Amino acid sequence: MTDQPLTDRPLTDQPQTDQPQTAQDQAQSPAGPRAGGPRLHYAWIIAAVCLLVMVGTAGFRSTPSLLMDPLNMQFGWSYGIISLAVSINMVLNGLTAPFAAALMDRFGIRAVVSVALTVMAFGGGLTVFMTQPWELLLCWGVLVGIGSGAMALAFSATVADRWFFARRGLVTGVLTAASAAGNLVFLPVLAWLINAYGWRSGSLLVGGAALAVVPIVLLLLREHPADLGLLPYGATTPEQVEQAQREGRGAAVPVDPGTGPRALRVLRRATATRPFWLLAGSFAICGATTNGLVGTHFIPAAEDHGMVETTAAGLLALVGVFDVVGTVFSGWLTDRLDSGKLLGTYYLLRGVSLLFLPVLFARTVHFSMLIFIIFYGLDWVATVPPTVALCRQWFGNDAPIVFGWVLCGHQVGAAVVAFLAGVIRDQLGSYDLAWYGSGALCVVAATCALLLGASPGTGDGIAAGEGAGDGVAAGPAAGPLAVTG
């Protein structure tokens, strides 16, 4: 006998048990996704795995600046040739990103990420055998570039859109900051390894780190909250999610079987709008003034002024420390403030800091250089959360793919400046022109961001929910945001 009232017992023919349902049982439950569940929503496990992936692959971003001098001394390759490999890497990274977002919809995040990590590890490992410049272009430029494109910021945007209904800006900021955190981990270690054991030890380390993350991805990464019988974090009912999807603001919806073609259709529709070009243009300058210039050439520029490589690498790692703080805080601000104005402010502050940098280099680290590192670090990729928010605001459910194309602009901008800065150094013997030019470009980026201040649906040309077909919200062709001609 039991003291439980008959009316309180569940009406089912299944034996009763005090054990909780497994994730598989929850996914097969006829009740569908639920808002409750474990105290720690599985979305945070997904975010933690993604953060680990971003940290594990950050070494590929850290390595090129450390390889400039060793490759120049061992093989006699010019800064321009080495920068060309970095440029190819960045271009392919950007071109791969939008297709990777579509492939994640088609084949799943877990499969795409696992293959990408393996390709990156393979490309990094093969560099230890190279003796000719074309091998550098193939391994570091092509293989690592394609693999890293699938691990780009579009990956973070896809995860945030699928798994989070609330706190998307914060999550995007944290995942973006993970790359900077990886820089913090890898840069000092790589600098020490390369100085002690040669540049090949650095290539092996970053390749091994990427490969080590693959089992964790296969074991823990899941595609959608519904796979575990859950709703996205912050959603309370399935109807709430469906309503947001209909309005073009919710998590990504199922897509047609096309992968590459869908990415191209989204691009075609997005390029007919002015917001896309403002976002792509400003983000191209973002890439030019971060990965392209500072990320690639800060250490060689510091060495030109007599600073030892390990010290310069430590300063760049310190940028990563403040980048984590700035990007997470930027995600918090993005959830609360106007994204266009926030983005414009970031670009203006970055431009001012770059204009001062040429006079701050010295043989030793002075207080003024530390001020630059703190100021610039807080602003490094703080631009990502408001840029993702603006993509979501203007392009609704296709925001991850649109952001992939915007990220392509980021990488193209980074590639162009990475190569040009190397050529400037070869021809003029100094990076000063590159620093001043990038500071001026930031003013252009700030202007683009401030022009994005108007909200969609106010008659400015793009309205959430319109543009049925591929999901890009497109406004009236005659509106002021339409691109004609």
Tens-digit pLDDT profile for residues 372-431? 999 898 888 789 889 988 998 888 878 878 887 898 888 889 889 988 998 998 889 889
Helices (H), 198-308: 199-220, 238-246, 260-270, 274-287, 296-304
The answer, yes or no, to whether residue 125 has pLDDT greater than 70, is yes
The answer, yes or no, to whether residue 18 has pLDDT greater than 80, is no
> Which of 96-100, 191-195, 397-401, 461-465 is predicted with the least confidence, judged by mean pLDDT?
461-465
The answer, yes or no, to whether residue 479 has pLDDT greater than 80, is no
| Spatial distance between the Cα atoms of 60 and 190, rounded to a whole number of angstroms | 11
Angle at 85 between CA 79 and CA 91, to 5 degrees: 125
* pTM (predicted TM-score): 0.67
Higher pLDDT, 57 or 293: 293
| Spatial distance between the Cα atoms of 427 and 423, rounded to a whole number of angstroms | 6
Q: How confident is the model at residue 280 (pLDDT cuts 50, 70, 90)?
A: very high
230 φ, ψ (degrees, to nearest 5): -115, 160
pLDDT for the residue 151: 74
DSSP conformation class of 397: G
Fold of 38-226+255-450: Growth Hormone; Chain: A; (1.20.1250)
The answer, yes or no, to whether residue 287 has pLDDT greater than 70, is yes
How much of the chain, in percent, has pLDDT values that exceed 90?
Answer: 23
**Which tokens in the block code for residue 339?**
């994204």
Q: How confident is the model at residue 154 (pLDDT cuts 50, 70, 90)?
A: low
The pLDDT tens digits of the residues spanning 424-434 come to: 988 898 899 99
| Spatial distance between the Cα atoms of 237 and 227, rounded to a whole number of angstroms | 16
pLDDT for the residue 359: 92
- Tell me the average pLDDT across 64-91: 85
pLDDT for the residue 456: 54
**Which tokens in the block code for residue 133?**
């410049």
pLDDT for the residue 1: 45
**Radius of gyration in angstroms for the set of CA atoms belonging to the chain, rounded to a whole number:** 24
Q: What's the whole-number average pLDDT of the chain?
A: 78
Angle at 99 between CA 157 and CA 265, to 5 degrees: 100
233 φ, ψ (degrees, to nearest 5): -60, 130
Q: How confident is the model at residue 298 (pLDDT cuts 50, 70, 90)?
A: very high
Q: What DSSP letter does each residue of 328-345 carry, written as one string? A: HHHHHHHTTS-HHHHHHH
CA distances from 101 to 39, 207, 225, 401, 427 (A): 30, 23, 18, 6, 40
Q: How confident is the model at residue 115 (pLDDT cuts 50, 70, 90)?
A: very high
